[in-house]
Amino acid sequence: MHIDVWSIDATLVNIYPISPPNEKGFALNLEKGVWNSFDIPLSAFSDVVNLAEVLQFKFDGGTGVETIFIDNLYFYGECYIAPDCPQLVWADEFDGTSLNLSNWTPLTGDGCDINLCGWGNNELQWYQPQNAVVSNGSLKITAKQESVGGRAYTSARLITKDKQDFTYGRFEASIKLPEGQGIWPAFWMFHTDAVYGPWPMSGEIDIMEYLGQEKDRIFGTIHHGDLVPNNRNTSGGFRLVNGDFTERFYEFAIEWEENVIRWYIDDYLYLTLRPEDIAPDFWPFNQDFHFLLNVAVGGNLPGNPDATTTFPQTMEVDYVRVYKGRFAHLTGTQRVDYQAEGEVYTVENAGPGSSYNWTVEGGTIVAGQGTSQITVNWGEANQNAKVSVTTTSECGAENTISLDVAIDVQRVIVREFALENFDDEALITFLNASGTFTDNAANPAPNDLNNSALVGKYVRNDGAQFDNIQYSTAAIPDASVFTSGSKTFYVDFYTDAPVGTPLLLQLENSNESLPTNFPAGRHSRYQAITTVQNAWQRLAFTFLDRPDGGTSNTGVDRIVFLFNPNTFTNNTYYYDNFDRYCTDEEEKCFDDSDFVLSDPCNCRNPKNIVLADGTYLFEDTLKIDASSFANPTITFVSQDGKMLNAAGAPLTATTANFIPLGGGVFGLQFYKRSNTTATITVDVNGQQRSFTTTSCTPCPAVVAVPTMGQWGLFLFGLLMINLSLIFLYQKRMLYSHQ
């Protein structure tokens, strides 16, 4: 508090702030005849006087003092800015015994009454209010196998339209999810008024979608673009490291601002989308949206229930809440390499005056403890690896955010075979491209990494936002080996694109995938990021997500490359050595050393057949060592037509027979021409490998072998010139006692 005091005769004045009935004085020592300025700390009064309720001041100059002048009485100090803390706007805690109909409207039917049979997705359920029950502090939406309305299943779909509608904020729900093929629960938002036109022109925000057959994954998505079939969506996903979404409640949230939407799971940020991410599409997310909670059954996505699906299945919701403001959240890498170093984890938006206490399991904090950002060096594979941070701020209670971290094991990485290397016969076939593709182009800069003479060349089309090149293939019999990580695609790239350019590889079913119906038919996506410019680099395509969980693992017949998707760039990409690698951490990678050709080119026992070209058929045994597998299974995949059966015809899968030889070793008997090599491809517990046999020099003659203990007549075809005695002698000696 500041005050100026003047007196002609006083040397001491006491000032008393008064908040009835309390007052407290403070002594001011004056110099007579001049203005005296005083700055008094409010703490001098606050132990007695309620400073927020001061009604008057009293001044006491003592006995004999006639006049005191005062001026400039005011309070001052540093401005206090209240912390920007989240404020609850609306919530339904589901604490009652029935659904609050002032918040929610249950829908009835299968969509046919609004000309949307199957809800636009060929779904199989009939929605009815009784499948949504509030009890014991939560909402339960249950899908049942029962016939109602001509449908084989029932479920519930709740909306807040025209009851609870919102523009911008934080929107969250705590949910425990069901499971099973064909079960599709969702927590999402839809435009309340079609301000920009029908769906998807006015937008849709999927806060959480989940496919019951993939219990460890969820997705966040926005829908935008023009009317069907020119509709589009943009999405991202999150995959748990441990457990699945049926085991406990998880909090799914978005923070929606004017030009950005962020997706969170338990306050871990996994997806951010902005208008530029969907350009040139319009960003319609600036109007009222309302909530939807439902459990769908079957349809294009996620596929229909099968024999493994059990009913009933229930999605349980603990609460739905809306806040103004943002929450503290964690960012950083969820899946790291073996002994990864320098991984950064950050808490954002913790609030003013925050403190931070970090803990890390499975790694070491090397910098940043006590701050909003730490650097971690991770160790070896550890199923309990985790990074956690507890924050406190002026906003109130402690908040702990934890992220389970997957540390990759030390893998054995072995190249299995090439899908395309522009030198040998390819296992993929070029279909079409948005840009300009040149087959068998000259290598722009041969080096130790890639010294091939021929490579592929691709010039991206700068007029195509999602430029791509497509191949057909029959070389992916089971795509699950790529989503699990036991197999990995590697490709060599040389490009003038900037470092950090994303490359996508997409596995598709050609019968289901159309240019305008994403994500239908897209089995899985894999991403690589460029690390150098204008030099060869070998990139691994790591699993990104499963856009369409309904696409079968055995239904992939198309591979699509997307070069720097969602941009309009025109860089040039050379690529080569599109290979499949084994990266299985649990079983030894099957490699060439596991093929053993038993006694190759054995002239003692060729097949007694001379072919028209003068070559012999050799009988060989290919031994395959699968002893590194606990329960090995070996199947014949294909061969180049040079492995023959006993009749001299190409060996086929129906005639191939792998004979157990003991100790995990299997044998395959086959024949081949004496002057040729032969290549065979086999599958050992899902790992495919190819092996090429050696060529053989034709034997000089077909040598007969005597039978022990028997006489036999053998014709040698010798040149007979007075050698009859010699011949008889040899004939006699062929009686064997051994």
Q: How does pLDDT run across 528-553, given as a tens digit for each residue?
A: 989 889 999 999 998 988 888 889 99
CATH of 592-692, one of 1.10.357, 3.30.1370, 1.10.287, 2.60.40: 2.60.40
Cα atoms found within 13 Å of the Cα of residue 147, Cβ hemisphere only = 1
Over the stretch 645-687, which tens digit does the pLDDT of each residue have?
Answer: 777 788 887 777 788 877 677 888 777 777 778 888 888 776 6
| Domain limits, the chain | 2-74, 87-324, 329-407, 417-582, 592-692, 704-738
Q: What does the pLDDT read at residue 716?
A: 38
The pLDDT score that the predictor gives to residue 593 is 59
Taking only the tens place, the pLDDT of each residue in 298-345 is 998 788 999 999 999 999 999 999 999 999 999 998 988 788 889 999
- Model confidence at 738, pLDDT cuts 50, 70, 90, reads very low
Whole-angstrom distance, CA of residue 255 vs CA of residue 249: 20
Q: At residue 260, does pLDDT exceed 90?
A: yes
Rounded average pLDDT over 454-477:
93
- Section 511-523 average pLDDT: 89
pLDDT confidence tier of residue 704, bands split at 50, 70 and 90: very low
Confidence bin at 609 (pLDDT 50/70/90): low
> What share of the chain in percent tops pLDDT 70?
87
Q: Whole-number mean pLDDT of the chain?
A: 86
Q: Which of 493, 478, 591, 486 is nearest to 537 (CA)?
A: 493
pLDDT (0 to 100) of residue 560: 98
As a whole number of angstroms, the longest Cα–Cα distance in the chain is 167
> Which of 288-292, 438-442, 636-640 bottoms out in mean pLDDT, i.e. has the lowest?
636-640
Distance CA 247, CA 260 (A): 31
Inter-residue contact 392 to 398 (CB < 8 Å)? yes
Separation between Cα atoms, residue 52 and residue 605, nearest integer Å: 110
Q: Which CATH number fits domain 87-324: 3.20.20.80, 2.60.120.200, 1.10.760.10, 2.120.10.30?
A: 2.60.120.200
What would the CATH number be for the domain defined by 329-407? 2.60.40.1080
Using one digit for the tens of pLDDT, what is the confidence trace for 370-417?
Answer: 999 999 999 887 888 999 999 998 887 788 999 988 877 666 677 878
Who has greater pLDDT, 58 or 618? Answer: 58
Q: Give me the pLDDT at residue 591, please.
A: 58
Higher pLDDT, 517 or 593: 517
Residue that is written with structure tokens 């006639």 in the block: 66
- Binned at pLDDT 50, 70 and 90, residue 588 comes out as low
pLDDT for residue 67: 83
**Contact predicate 355/394, CB 8 Å:** no
Highest-pLDDT range among 78-82, 569-573, 629-633, 706-710: 569-573
**What is the spatial distance between Cα 155 and Cα 312, in angstroms, rounded to a whole number?**
10
In this chain, the answer to whether the domains covering 87-324 and 417-582 adopt an identical fold is yes
pTM: 0.60
Tokens of 419: 């899908």
Distance (Å, whole) CA 583 – CA 574:
25
Q: Which of 177-191, 313-327, 349-363, 581-595 has the lowest mean pLDDT?
A: 581-595
Q: Name the residue with higher pLDDT: 594 or 194.
A: 194
Q: Flag the least confident range among 67-71, 223-227, 437-441.
A: 67-71
Residue in the structure block whose two tokens are 């909530």? 291
Whether a cis peptide bond, with omega within 30° of 0, leads into 280 is yes
Domain at 417-582: CATH code: 2.60.120.430
pLDDT: which is higher, 703 or 111: 111
pLDDT at 723 over 50: no
Q: How confident is the model at residue 90 (pLDDT cuts 50, 70, 90)?
A: very high
Give the mean pLDDT of 107-111. 98
**CA–CA distance, 13 with 4 (Å, rounded to integer):** 12
Confidence of residue 618 (pLDDT cuts 50, 70, 90): confident
Judged against a pLDDT cut of 50, whether residue 564 lies above it is answered with yes
Residue 133 has pLDDT above 70, yes or no: yes
Distance in angstroms (rounded) separating the CA atoms of residues 188 and 235: 13
What is the pLDDT confidence band of residue 733, given thresholds at 50, 70 and 90? very low
Tokens of 341: 């170093």
How far is 305 from 244, CA to CA, in rounded Å?
19
Alpha-carbon distance 553 to 15, whole Å?
Answer: 85
**Residues with active-site annotation:** 204, 209
Of the candidate ranges 28-42, 547-561, 686-700, the one whose mean pLDDT is the lowest: 686-700
Q: Are strands 125-127 and 153-155 parallel, antiparallel or unpaired?
A: parallel
* Average pLDDT, integer, range 349-378: 93
| Region at 474 (left for phi over 0; alpha for psi -120 to 50; beta for the rest) | alpha
Question: What does the pLDDT average to over 155-174?
Answer: 98
